[in-house]
Amino acid sequence: MKKVISDENVKKVRLEEEEKLLILAKADDVKGEQLVITATGIKTENELKQFALGAVDNPDRKFELYYKGIMKLLRKFLPTGKPNRKARAFIYEEKNTFLTRGKRIGVNGIRGGDSRMAYISDIQELLDVITEWIVSHGTMVELYNSIRELNVSKGYGTGKE
Judged against a pLDDT cut of 80, whether residue 79 lies above it is answered with yes
pLDDT digits (tens, 9 = 90+) for 103-133: 999 899 999 999 999 999 999 999 999 999 9
Coil, strand or helix at 112: coil
Output b/e per residue, 18-37; b: 16+ Cβ within 10 A.
eeeeeeeeeeeeeeeeeeee
Name the band, by pLDDT with cuts 50, 70 and 90, for residue 20. confident
Average pLDDT over residues 3-23: 79
Instruction: Give the whole-angstrom CA distance, residue 157 versus residue 125.
Output: 18
Instruction: Give the whole-angstrom CA distance, residue 70 versus residue 61.
Output: 13
- Please tell me the predicted confidence (pLDDT) of residue 161: 45
Q: What is the average pLDDT score of the chain? A: 82
Best CA proximity match to 126, nearest among 81, 53, 73? 73
Task: Report residue 83 CA to chain centroid gap.
Answer: 37
Tell me the whole-structure pTM to 2 decimals.
Answer: 0.64
Average pLDDT over residues 12-30: 74
